[in-house]
Structure 1
Amino acid sequence: MLAPSPTLPEEFRPLRVDEYHQLIELGVFEGTKVELVGGVLVEMSPQGPAHFGLIPYLNHLLVSLVGDDYTVSPQGPVIADEISEPEPDFAILTKRDTRRTGKPTDALLVIEVSNSSLRFDLGEKARRYAGAGFGEYWVIDVQDRSIHVHRGPRPDGTWTAVETVREGELQAVAVPPLHLDVGDLLDF
């Protein structure tokens, strides 16, 4: 498991996923939208028009491209480690029955649509997703109209390759049938 963020005080005691679930069951977060990342509760920003507009479009696109061989999980939680259960905009999973197995722990590709949370998405979330061994991580940067593509996760929370794509064809390595035209996707 990755340690909590190095910017936190040494005395910091992270909230664990099992404790987070107990608090959810007690209704502690009723009326709020939070996610657990690195042992810290992070309040999620409301979606702006560009972010919200991309979600249904991207959902339809992903489902049609990956077909029946994979599961597209929109805006659902994934367990990255003992102290992180973020809720990415999309997770592409192996085809399995998540109703019986609970929350995914083996995402092949995680996608965040980012507007106001770009620094966090490219920082601590990228670190957590790499540490979890998720095969690939894309951050769609709404302001810059680009996709930050992370590949080759390492257990220390880093990626072997990170590139920013603004045009051309983007092929998901972790999910082979997923390939899209970046210019078309970012034309909003």
Structure 2
Amino acid sequence: MAQRYRFGIEEFERLFQGVTGVELLDGEVYQMSPIGPKHALVVARLVKRLTEALGNQALVWPQNPVRLPPGSEPQPDIALLKPKDYWEALPSAEDILLLVEVSESSLDCDRNVKLPLYARSGIPEVWILDLSENRLHVFRHPKEGLYTEHRILLPGEEAEPLHFPGVRIPWLTLSAW
């Protein structure tokens, strides 16, 4: 009988060091979707807007890994982190204020694999930007592995990060990005 093998974070980092385009999710290695021009531009503009809006209140961490023990090292498109030095170790759940996933071809994985993982890890807020439907999904308040709040923002509405009341990030139509 065939048996699946689950990786731990340290083993994943050792075996896949230097390998691009993979992430560890619940002990399994996933090949990430290629980043297209629309996805790349939206991430770049969101990074710029978040950096301008938050200044030194948070570290904007684009397309870099975060550690979610015991068996996950995802690479969200953007993470807002508590402002501190991450020289010695990758950020973990207690460092994360907000995660953003930009979904062009990865919506199924972002919603059904990553989102539950983030909720189980206690990430307080996750935004999933669905490029195909032009919707921003805001998930907040994880409890027992689920997010208890889900809002859908339409173009023209503003997103306000949970940890930064009063900071408003306009959500525009894709053509306006």
1:181 maps onto 2:170 in alignment:
yes
After alignment, is 162-171 or 124-133 more displaced? 162-171
CA contact (8 A) 1:108 1:175 kept: no
Aligned residues: 174
Report the alpha carbon displacement of residue 185 of structure 1 after superposing the two structures with TM.
Answer: 6.9
Equivalent residue in structure 1 for 2:59, among 71, 75, 87: 71
Equivalent residue in structure 2 for 1:21, among 13, 16, 20: 13
SS state at 1:120 partner: helix
How does 1:109-148 map onto structure 2 within 5 Å?
109-148=98-137
1:107 maps onto 2:99 in alignment:
no
Unaligned runs of 5+ in 1: 1-10
Report the alpha carbon displacement of residue 184 of structure 1 after superposing the two structures with TM.
Answer: 5.8
Unaligned runs of 5+ in 2: none
Normalised TM-score (structure 2): 0.90
Report the alpha carbon displacement of residue 170 of structure 1 after superposing the two structures with TM.
Answer: 1.5
Report the alpha carbon displacement of residue 160 of structure 1 after superposing the two structures with TM.
Answer: 0.6
Report the alpha carbon displacement of residue 177 of structure 1 after superposing the two structures with TM.
Answer: 5.3
- 1:126 and 1:66 map into 2 onto residues whose CA distance is 24
1:99/1:183 Cα in 2 relative to 1: closer, same or farther (>3 Å)?
A: same
CA contact (8 A) 2:131 2:174 kept: no
- 2:55 and 2:116 map into 1 onto residues whose CA distance is 29
CA-to-aligned-CA distance 1:2-56 (integer Å, 9 cap, x gap):
xxxxxxxxx544211111111134x5x3xx4100011111101111221011121
- Identical amino acids, percent of aligned pairs: 33
